[in-house]
Structure 1
Amino acid sequence: MRTLARPRHHRMIAGVCAGVAERFGLSAGTVRVIFLVSCLLPGPQILIYPALWLLLPQEP
């Protein structure tokens, strides 16, 4: 199983959704849609993305 890292390919902004998609074997588009829909719900989702951007390592 792959580790959670931001890939250098298939990125749109920072690669967070693409990294999560690769880690769990999903398509990047699916993860992006799930993230956008989740932003309509109350909660800290909008703060999690920048936190993951800073915390996830860049793929070598």
Structure 2
Amino acid sequence: MKKLTRSTTDRWVAGICGGIGEYFEIDPNVIRVIWVILSVLTTFFPGVIIYILLWIILPESGEARPVEAPFEA
């Protein structure tokens, strides 16, 4: 199952657009252009805030994630 993660190989700042491009299997540069256009049309503020939130929320690809232990009665 595919997981949305930040890219560690195709990144300019945090790897958000690279990770989205890898997830949807499209060129990350297309994602970057769309992101910039939408940010400019919304006066930058929402685009920057969403980018920062995704930077905080999304793990990097290959990063260890906590695994829940199975419940034992």
TM-score by length of 1: 0.89
Identify the match of residue 49 of structure 1 among 38, 48, 51.
51
Highest relative contact order (Cα 8 Å, sep 6+), 1 or 2?
1
Residue ranges of structure 2 left out of the alignment (5+ in a row)? 63-73
- Structure 1 unaligned regions, length at least 5: none
Sequence identity percentage: 35
Deviation at 1:2, TM superposition (A): 2.2
Runs of 4+ in 1 over 6 A off after TM superposition: none
Q: Count the aligned residue pairs.
A: 60
SS at match of 1:39: helix
Shift of 1:47: 0.6
Kindly name which structure, 1 or 2, has the bigger radius of gyration based on alpha carbons.
2
Which residue does the alignment assign to 2:21? 21
Query: Following the alignment from structure 1 to structure 2, what is the Cα–Cα distance between the partners of residues 45 and 12?
Result: 16
Contact 1:21 1:27 survives alignment (8 Å): yes
